[in-house]
Amino acid sequence: MRQEDQGVAGSLVNTVVNYSISMGLGFAGVVEYYVGNDGENLLQGYRAATYTGVGLAGLGSVIASCFMIVTWRGSRKA
């Protein structure tokens, strides 16, 4: 990547990371609210929110691994 474009790329990555964090927190909050029956069963709601976070982290790991494999295969063909 050209040096003059690295700042734009860095700010784009930072924006996507911050947006993803806020969406993940929103999803976990909604899951906690509905599974925990509006505060009646706090532990069950917290557990469901934790599982949501673990699931989203796992999904991110799978997507990153697929991207890494595709990139690696593309570099071997060149």
Note the pTM of the prediction, 2 decimals: 0.76
User: Could you report the per-residue pLDDT of 14-64, keeping only the tens digit for each?
Assistant: 999 999 999 999 999 999 999 998 878 999 999 999 999 999 999 999 999
Q: Which residues contact 35 (CB under 8 A, 6 or more apart)?
A: 41, 44, 45, 48, 49
Q: What is the dihedral of CA 75, 3, 63, 50, to 10 degrees?
A: 150
- pLDDT at residue 34, rounded to an integer: 94
- pLDDT at residue 39, rounded to an integer: 79
Residue 19 identity: Y
pLDDT of 76 > 90? The answer is no
pLDDT of 78 > 80? The answer is no
